[in-house]
């Protein structure tokens, strides 16, 4: 709608917001994308990079360059949506096309997946997406009863190792978690433990395969490589897929044998070829689930570490009281009764979602609304949402930058869940065949609660330090001490 005021034409969105040009610019070709990449990875960091564009342009919808830029990106130009309201456009399949946008402005070589496009790279309009998402729901439903025992097995072993190693000094959590997360995920989905079948290097094989896909958006590979060299190594060319070939072949063999019944179901119930089902099973387990848990556990520990012993005591009290009422057993029903524990998990996901960015192309010319302004986006333009900033929107969350453990407790807290977007959709919405929301959303929440519950059934408190980021993707956590449960 348009009207005239003082001789100028003004346009308004259907909801009555003024339509203005999207501020920001893409700068000088080649030079600006490289400069922006260095700011994103090395000079400012992810959060400050986006915040600086918001501040400079006085807008939470802004044109900017997105990494990796030259020379891997097809096109580094994006429209960034950085508040809780504008971000929601990325969840609307009628407005955004998600084909080949999982990793943003670049696509990993399909040879990493034996030439098959995994479901995460498919748009909802592609028939194969519907079949694969139905298969993923079947996988989760058929193995649901295995999640809790598989988790206890993997993480009890991890905590045992932590306690043993603490006798010699502080213990880095991440390396232990990488192995535990992969063992747990595969055991939960397939009924087989990769470290038993492949050997102790199983999780490293998956990690190398993941790195070959994600290195264009990773950084700080090691403190021994100066950033200019790392930038040339990671961000200027796609590392050759053959570096992961032998590792992926080992995964193929493991998943082919251990997932035999699931692969048969994929053919009989969902009409999927064995190859398509196999490589998607590997991707769903090793990328979607395992990589998420690999990042998520350190994220939870990071915020619990900062919160300190007072919160630890409250969590221990709640968890032990509920578990005692369930005859000393952690069940799905018991976890549902742990209000503070649930809130802590959601708050960690709000502040540090395991996947930071979401992307999509505008299906047609459309209007995006922030809280007070509307903007026109043209068909085909890439929209990028940075979730950690969108979920720190002060117009939605009070003290949005702070970790508030009980933020989601009570009726008001439950309403705020509509603005928790970590799963590529609001927490109040369920994954469906017709959307791109994570099919394992409920499993992630379950695992987060299990981790907190197991931690405080075992320990009264712990001390640790958050020692930077690993690959720029997950917090590095070093555990310094644990205090065994006084109830044992």
Question: What's the alpha-carbon Rg for the chain, to the nearest Å?
Answer: 23
Reduce the DSSP state of residue 445 to 3 states and report it. Answer: helix
Q: Sign of torsion, CA 216 439 197 149?
A: positive
Q: Could you give the CA distance from residue 265 to residue 124 in angstroms, rounded to a whole number? A: 22
Q: Are strands 61-65 and 8-11 parallel, antiparallel or unpaired?
A: unpaired
DSSP-derived pairing of the beta strands 77-81 and 382-386: parallel
Rounded to whole angstroms, the Cα distance separating 147 from 166 reads 28
Known binding-site residue numbers for heme: 438
d(CA 418, CA 438): 16
Q: What are the binding residues? A: 438
What angle, 0 to 180 degrees and rounded to 10, lies between the N-to-C axes of helices 309-325 and 290-307? Answer: 120
Buried-state track 329-341, b at ≥16 Cβ within 10 A, e below 16: ebeeebbebbebb
**DSSP code for 417:** G
Cis peptide before 68 (omega within 30 of 0): yes
Stated as kind and residue range, the H or E segment containing 281 is helix 274-282
């Amino acid at each position: 709608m348009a009207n005239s005021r003082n001789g100028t034409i003004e346009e308004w969105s259907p909801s009555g917001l003024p339509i203005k040009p999207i501020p920001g610019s893409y700068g000088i070709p080649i030079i600006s994308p490289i400069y922006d990449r260095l700011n994103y990875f090395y000079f400012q960091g992810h959060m400050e990079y986006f915040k600086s564009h918001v501040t400079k342009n006085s807008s939470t919808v802004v044109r900017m360059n997105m990494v990796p830029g030259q020379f891997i990106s097809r096109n580094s130009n994006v429209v960034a949506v950085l508040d809780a309201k504008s971000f929601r456009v990325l969840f609307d399949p009628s407005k955004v096309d998600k084909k080949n946008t999982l990793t943003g402005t670049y696509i990993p070589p399909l040879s990493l997946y034996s030439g098959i496009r995994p479901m995460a790279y498919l748009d909802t309009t592609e028939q194969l997406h519907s079949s694969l998402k139905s298969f993923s729901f079947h996988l989760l439903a058929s193995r649901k009863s295995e999640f809790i025992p598989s988790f206890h097995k993997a993480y009890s072993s991890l905590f045992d190792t932590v306690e043993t190693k603490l006798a010699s000094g502080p213990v880095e959590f991440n390396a232990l978690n990488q192995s535990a997360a992969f063992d747990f995920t595969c055991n939960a989905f397939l009924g087989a433990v990769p470290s038993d079948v492949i050997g102790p290097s199983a999780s490293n094989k998956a990690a190398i395969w993941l790195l070959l896909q994600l290195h264009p958006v990773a950084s700080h590979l090691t403190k021994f490589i100066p950033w200019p060299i790392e930038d040339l190594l990671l961000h200027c060319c796609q590392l050759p897929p053959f570096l992961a070939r032998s590792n992926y072949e080992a995964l193929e063999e493991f998943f082919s044998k251990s997932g035999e019944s699931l692969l048969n179901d994929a053919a009989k119930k969902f009409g999927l070829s064995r190859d398509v089902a196999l490589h998607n099973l590997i991707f769903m387990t090793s990328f979607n689930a395992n990589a998420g848990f690999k990042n998520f556990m350190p994220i939870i520990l990071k915020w619990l570490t900062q919160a300190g012993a007072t919160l630890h005591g409250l969590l221990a009290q709640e968890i032990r009281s509920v578990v005692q009422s369930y005859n000393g057993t952690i069940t799905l029903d018991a976890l549902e009764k742990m209000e503070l524990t649930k809130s802590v998990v959601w708050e960690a996901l709000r502040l540090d979602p395991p996947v930071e960015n979401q992307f999509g192309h505008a299906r047609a010319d459309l209007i995006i609304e922030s809280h007070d302004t509307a903007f026109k986006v043209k068909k085909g333009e890439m929209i990028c949402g940075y979730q950690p900033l969108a979920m720190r929107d002060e117009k939605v969350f009070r003290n949005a930058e702070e970790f508030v453990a009980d933020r989601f407790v009570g009726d008001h807290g439950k309403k705020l869940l509509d603005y928790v977007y970590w799963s590529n959709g609001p927490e109040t919405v369920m994954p469906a065949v017709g959307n791109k929301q994570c099919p394992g959303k409920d499993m992630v929440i379950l695992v987060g609660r299990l981790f907190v519950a197991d931690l405080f059934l075992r320990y009264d408190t712990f001390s640790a330090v958050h020692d930077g980021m690993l690959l720029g993707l997950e917090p590095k956590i070093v555990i310094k001490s644990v205090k065994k449960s006084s109830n044992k």
